[in-house]
A and B are shown apart, each in its own frame.
Chain A
Amino acid sequence: MTPRAIFPNKFLPYLLLAPQLAITAIFFYWPASQALYQSMLREDPFGLSTQFVGLANFRHVLNDPNYLHSFQVTIVFSVATALLAMVPALFLAVMADKVVRGRGIYRTLLIWPYAIAPAIAGMLWLFLFNPSIGSIAVMLRSLGVYWDPLLNGPQAVILVVAAAAWKQISYNFLFFVAGLQAIPKSLVEAAAIDGAGETKRFWTIIFPLLAPTTFFLLVINTVYAFFDTFGIIHAVTGGGPGKATETLVYKVYNDGFVNLLLGESAAQSVILMVIVVALTAVQFRYVERRVHYG
């Protein structure tokens, strides 16, 4: 533990914390409490009167087949995005770890995509895969794939998953590289002497020792797929076709700002808040217990 500084003045600590507290209060606690309040109200279609309805909105939302469908979409989308973001990242990190010359260059190049804003990444993919003008779409079509994410639901999901994962690969790569570096080289050498080939060494030594990093990234990527992919979905599919790519976050936006079902949308965002709190709790608990090998 680091030694604690003791303030003789009782108010100074609060004064120093005030800006941060104010920001948190204005941008988190206030909207969160508003959402909570809003989630228990129902407005008439013209917005002239509101009525307190208790948990009716939640009941309605949780019984709504559209909402449950969106839940499914989100799960599929998150799992696919997390996997697609982590597996290539791990592969690239393992490869980059072997490079002796020009390590820095490889790493820098691989980290760049992370610096691109989600909406721009989305546009990039949208253009590449646009059925009429996208260069990759043209290639796909010449290969005989009937490519039309604007009409074909699964294809739309594939496209947003790819766009969302692509951006996250860099981030995961960085952590995997750091994780690999933390594994003592002598362990790998000992395993080589013990007769384990390269693949065997990876699965029996390196992969288990990377487990803390992998788990950490799994949580981070799930949270990312749940909450941070709005920009990409909005740019690429707008939740469509139909509701094929309408994730929970996207549905909150759709119901609240497009369909103006304020109460239900608020109830959905409260549910999301609970999910993110739970995920964060898991992550904190785990990060605190993170194993260090030496």
Chain B
Amino acid sequence: MATVDLKNIRKIYPGGFEAVKKVNLAIRDGALCVLVGPSGCGKSTLLRMIAGLESITEGEIAIDGRMVNELGPAERDIAMVFQNYALYPHMSVYDNMAYGLRNRRMPKPEIDKRVREVAATLELDHLLTRRPRELSGGQRQRVAMGRAIVRNPKLFLFDEPLSNLDAKLRGQMRVEIKNLQRSLGVTSVYVTHDQLEAMTLADVLVVMNAGNVEQIGAPLDIYEKPATLFVASFIGAPPMNLLPLRHGEGRAALADGTEIGGSGLSLSGEATTLGIRPENLFLVTNNDEIGGNAIFEIVIRAIEPVGAESFIYGDVGKTRLVVRVAGKTAMEPGAKIHVGAKVADLHVFDDAGIRI
């Protein structure tokens, strides 16, 4: 168990590419910290720097209050689960799990006890003599987890451990990882580009973009109050509707001149983008609902029923808008409807993409 502190971490690859730019992050003891961001934003690079697999160009990394910049991966007392699992193909499941313990010269009976215990919790007991290539993808994933757990390290590092599994298994493993992490209480850093995984797993969510940290916080806080336009568009599925606003004073209107109906909406002059989550939009049926709401007139273009909910795709002026409604809907493409959102549910961003 340990805390992790990153101070002004920078990574410039030998080619001159700056993959991570000044990252500051403090992870408290026992927390599951999820790094999320689009492909190529530097998540793996950051994780590998914590692991000691990549050199640190600038800044300091401390694990449990101790600076580890100069320590090799073995001395940092961490365990890592790789995306491709990186199981040793020529060793049995048992040996894969025992390898790290043998290297640390643990007595044999103790190794045996630990491996069997962990194998039992992960339901791997009957697979101990198999080679990795004789396992299914899900089983390999478990072995990779087992290899990390059996070491009982200070820190778990996960680099997209579930991305090679099918959707159903991924859901199961997500829950399992969360439970394991909780019960073991080991501080963990988990990299993913799947925002559903990020939202459900994280105690602390770190949203990254192009080498920068955009926002750090509890998942729901980030969801409800995205600090930047990037976070707003990245977190949430389907993504938040982002409507460009008209500059200048007067009644609130979109960039293409479409006026925003309703009352109670007052925008500052710096506001350039209006964000509304699809589920915060509702169908306006009578004029009573105008107070305290922003109202848009949309033309329906398509309807996507998904079972428990339906998504209505429409145009407000020239901008595409998605509305989520519960259950099914009887509406048809081509129809004109009014949708509204509470003013309190609106997100407003300035020119630089910062939340106002």
Contacts and interface: CB of A to CB of B under 8 A. Distances in A.
Most B CB contacts (10 A, CB to CB) among A190, A195, A197, A205 go to A190
B88 A191 contact: yes
Contacts, number: 57
Most A CB contacts (10 A, CB to CB) among B78, B79, B80, B89 go to B89
B95 to A, nearest CB: 10
Contacts of A186: 82, 84, 86
A182 to B, nearest CB: 11
B74 A192 contact: yes
A209 B133 CA distance: 14
A129 B89 CA distance: 46
Contacts of B79: 193
B90 interface: yes
B84 A184 contact: yes
Given A100-B14, A190-B80, A195 B88 contact: no
Nearest to B53: A189
A208 B90 contact: yes
Given A100-B14, A184-B84, A192 B89 contact: no
A186 B73 CA distance: 13
Contacts of A197: 74
A194 interface: yes
A189 B78 CA distance: 12
B51 interface: yes
Interface string B100-124: 1001100000000000000000000
A138 interface: no
Contacts of A194: 74, 99-100, 103, 147, 151
Contact of B53 (A192, A200, A211): A192
A98 B319 CA distance: 54
A195 to B, nearest CB: 4
Contacts of B51: 189, 193
Contacts of A83: none
Given A189-B53, A189-B73, A190-B80, A195 B86 contact: no
B327 interface: no
B78 to A, nearest CB: 7
Given A184-B84, A186-B84, A200-B103, A192 B90 contact: no
Contacts of A204: 99
A195 B152 CA distance: 13
B171 interface: no
Given A184-B84, A186-B84, A191 B99 contact: yes
Nearest to B74: A195
Contacts of A293: 89
Most B CB contacts (10 A, CB to CB) among A195, A200, A208 go to A195
Nearest to B14: A100
B115 to A, nearest CB: 13
A187 B52 CA distance: 15
B89 A209 contact: yes
Given A100-B14, A200-B103, A193 B80 contact: yes
Contact of A195 (B14, B53, B100, B147): B100
B275 to A, nearest CB: 39
* Contact count band on A: 20 to 34
B103 A195 contact: yes
A56 B228 CA distance: 94
Interface in B23-82: 51-53, 72-74, 78-80, 82
B74 A193 contact: yes
A196 interface: yes
A190 B144 CA distance: 10
B82 A190 contact: yes
B86 A196 contact: no
B7 to A, nearest CB: 23
Most B CB contacts (10 A, CB to CB) among A189, A191, A194, A200 go to A194
Contacts of A196: 74, 99, 103
Nearest to B144: A190
Most A CB contacts (10 A, CB to CB) among B51, B86, B100 go to B86
19 contacts: A186-B84, A189-B51, A189-B53, A190-B80, A190-B88, A191-B99, A192-B53, A193-B53, A193-B73, A193-B80, A194-B100, A194-B103, A196-B74, A196-B99, A196-B103, A197-B74, A200-B103, A205-B88, A209-B89
Interface of A: 100, 184, 186-187, 189-197, 200, 204-205, 208-209, 211, 293
Given A193-B51, A193-B73, A193-B74, 12 more contacts: A186-B86, A187-B86, A190-B80, A190-B82, A191-B99, A192-B74, A193-B53, A193-B79, A194-B103, A194-B151, A195-B103, A196-B103
Give the 5 A-B CB pairs with smallest separation, nearest first.
Answer: A194-B100, A195-B103, A186-B86, A190-B86, A195-B74
